[in-house]
Amino acid sequence: MEEKIKKLKEILKSYESVIVGFSGGVDSTILCYFAHLVLQDKFLAVTANSETITTAELEEAKKIAETFKWPHLIVESDELKYVEFTNNPKDKCKWCKDIRFKQIIKIAEQKGYRYVASGDNIDDLQDYRPGLKHAHSLGIKSPLLESGITKNEIYSLARELNMPNCNKPANPCLASRIPYGIKITPENLKMISDAEKFLKELGYSPVRIRHHNNLARIEVDKSKIINFVSFHADLVIEKLKEIGYTYVVLDLQGYRTGSLNEVILENNEH
């Protein structure tokens, strides 16, 4: 791990100045930490705000940046204006990255930063990531990935450095809960956000609501399924129907990241 951190610092030093796309997740937090450590005032964290993230996620990003005294800029990113994104094709993440990173690249050019970087790690190469491939085509750097740092090592580093989000589960944008081909709208993003917020308040974290139009497929940790069925099923059904779902089902495979990509990966489409 020491060798990987040494390599990361060398890569960041070679940039001379960098903007990091900062979501408030553990990966980008670790990258911001080391970018600030190495480059000091030649570093800027930029967070994109849009309807695809919750208010709580944005506030957490602000708080982390304030805690570490990072220079931090929030930009508005409206992916919902673009049919390439809202039509929800299999490569929608490519279009999201295109919209967000082109905006950040423009900021880098205006403010004199040499590079823009994101918090991708080596494990991201194992999943379907059209956005990552497109980001690299735009010249976006992935220093954690280049250093060979894994997701588990990032969490270990976060705990070692006592990061406030060191135990935070992965939490990609709300649009990632919607199966490909189902249109992304402000209304269904809000339904997902409200449903997940309610489940987290009941103690289910991590949790996912997979939005199949009028059906909510709930993913909770397998170890909590019995508790869910025994104590909260009726309450959850009532609340999610109030939110707007007609059918509420529990996925017996439990919580897992990227479950909507399983068909793509099985068919080797990536």
List, for residues 107-147, the tens digit of each pLDDT value.
Answer: 999 999 999 999 999 999 887 788 898 999 999 999 999 99
Give CA angle at 229 (227, 231), nearest 5°: 60
Query: What proportion of the chain, given as a percentage, has pLDDT over 90?
Result: 89
Gap between the Cα atoms of 146 and 120, Å rounded: 9
Gap between the Cα atoms of 188 and 75, Å rounded: 23
pLDDT of residue 265: 52
Q: Report how far Cα 169 is from the mean position of its chain's Cα atoms.
A: 10
Gap between the Cα atoms of 73 and 68, Å rounded: 14
251 exposed, middle or buried (CB, 10 Å; 0-12, 13-18, 19+)?
A: middle
Q: What is the mean pLDDT of residues 27-54?
A: 97
Is pTM, for the whole model, over 0.85?
yes
Query: What proportion of the chain, given as a percentage, has pLDDT over 70?
Result: 97
pLDDT of residue 261: 74
| Residue 186 phi, psi (nearest 5) | -60, -35
| Residue 181 phi, psi (nearest 5) | 100, -20
Round the CA-based radius of gyration of the chain to a whole number and report it: 19
Give CA angle at 217 (243, 90), nearest 5°: 105
Name residue, tokens 């959850």.
236
pLDDT band at 155 (very low <50, low <70, confident <90, very high): very high
pLDDT of residue 141: 98
pLDDT of residue 153: 98
pLDDT of residue 263: 60
User: How do strand 207-212 and strand 18-21 relate by DSSP bridges?
Assistant: unpaired
Side-chain half-sphere exposure of 246, counting CA atoms within 13 A:
3
Length of the chain: 270
List, for residues 198-238, the tens digit of each pLDDT value.
Answer: 999 999 999 999 999 999 999 999 999 999 999 999 999 99
